[in-house]
């Protein structure tokens, strides 16, 4: 039974890892935390289910690509309009502004797509695959495959390549980066678009597991942030490790301690980490110090 609990925790952990990865990339280029990440996830799930699948009738992969492209465009647009201007501000101002933007996005989803929860049936069916000690649904397996693919991409585009350096330089001092010939605005928009795509993937993958509601992303977004703190603020491998670990601990905790307090478990883990190991499991040098 515990094997089963760990396996489904692993799937949820992969979702947290996707969101956490988005936080890490935005932090590494803009030095701000996008508190609207959960709402990007929500919005993407709506676009995928309501617009691409139901209205346009696209098959899964086309719908996925179209949603990712739409969210990338949205991410790039808002990075240019809003987030690029926030870097110079105090952390307080940036946090509040991104929270405000999250409300805007969530409400826009409600205005455009209505308040009723949407049901999305996975095209891969809900068969359970037996792995001996535990069983996984096809959807859960898909989630893990997607995250492993992204991790592999991470590995083949090494962290210390030119792209990594450009992102860091942009985060540290945008003006100097521009003077050194870095196309700063393109870097910012690109990073943000990428993090929006990660959130979109998380939303698309979550859609068949839960109903699509305006609230679906809020807690996932917060837990993704918790995952990044556990893994190490701004650390890319940390985000993945932290996300997977959080998913597993949360599920095991819910199973062994109390399922009513499942959501509280993630935040308790956060508090424990902030006291015991505030720099996270895989610390990043340019981290925001607690």
What number of CA atoms fall less than 13 Å from residue 201's CA on the CB side? 24
Binding-site string for another protein from residue 258 to residue 287, where x marks contact by CB under 8 A and - marks none? --xx-xx-xxx-xx--xx--x---------
Q: Does the protein bind another protein through residue 229 (CB under 8 A)?
A: yes
Q: Does the protein bind another protein through residue 290 (CB under 8 A)?
A: yes
Smallest distance, another protein to C-beta of residue 111, A: 6
- Return d(Cα 34, Cα 38) in angstroms, integer: 9
Of the pair 55, 260, the CB lying nearest another protein is at: 260
Q: Output the six-digit token pair for 150.
A: 């992204």
CB atoms within 10 A of CB 280: 24
Q: Which of residues 97-156 bind another protein (CB under 8 A)?
A: 97, 99-108, 110-111
Cα dihedral sign for 38, 39, 42, 45?
negative
Whole-angstrom CA distances from 89 to 78, 92, 93, 166 are 17, 8, 6, 21
Smallest distance, another protein to C-beta of residue 78, A: 9
Q: Which of residues 25-44 bind another protein (CB under 8 A)?
A: 33, 35
* 3-state DSSP assignment of residue 136: strand
Binding-site string for another protein from residue 204 to residue 223, where x marks contact by CB under 8 A and - marks none? --------------xx--x-
- Return d(Cα 132, Cα 211) in angstroms, integer: 29
Query: Which residues of the shown chain bind another protein in the complex (CB under 8 A)?
Result: 33, 35, 82, 85-86, 89-93, 95-97, 99-108, 110-111, 218-219, 222, 225-226, 229, 233, 260-261, 263-264, 266-268, 270-271, 274-275, 278, 288-290
């Amino acid at each position: 039974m515990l094997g089963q609990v760990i396996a489904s925790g692993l799937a949820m952990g992969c979702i947290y890892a996707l969101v956490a990865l988005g936080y890490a990339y935005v932090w590494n280029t803009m030095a701000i935390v996008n508190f609207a990440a959960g709402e990007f996830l929500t919005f993407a799930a709506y676009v995928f289910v309501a617009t691409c699948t139901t209205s346009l009738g696209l098959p899964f992969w086309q719908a996925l690509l179209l949603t990712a492209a739409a969210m990338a465009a949205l991410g790039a647009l808002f990075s240019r309009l809003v987030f690029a201007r926030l870097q110079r501000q105090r952390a307080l101002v940036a946090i509040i502004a991104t929270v405000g933007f999250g409300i805007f996005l969530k409400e826009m989803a409600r205005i455009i797509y209505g308040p009723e929860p949407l049901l999305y049936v996975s095209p891969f069916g809900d068969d359970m695959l037996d792995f001996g000690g535990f069983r996984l649904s096809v959807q859960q397996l898909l989630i893990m495959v997607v995250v492993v693919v992204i991790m592999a991409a991470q590995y083949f585009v090494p962290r210390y390549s030119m792209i990594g350096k450009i992102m860091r330089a942009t985060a540290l001092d945008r003006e100097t980066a521009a003077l050194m010939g870095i196309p700063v605005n393109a870097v910012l928009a690109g990073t943000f678009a990428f993090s929006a795509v990660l959130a979109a993937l998380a939303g698309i993958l979550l859609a068949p597991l839960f109903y699509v509601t305006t609230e679906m992303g809020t807690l996932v977004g917060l837990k993704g942030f918790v995952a990044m703190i556990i893994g190490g603020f701004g650390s890319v491998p940390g985000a993945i490790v932290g996300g997977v670990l959080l998913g597993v601990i949360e599920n095991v905790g819910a199973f062994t301690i109390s399922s009513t307090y499942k959501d509280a478990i993630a935040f308790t883990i956060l508090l424990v980490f902030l006291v015991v190991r505030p720099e996270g499991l895989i610390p990043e040098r340019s981290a925001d110090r607690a």
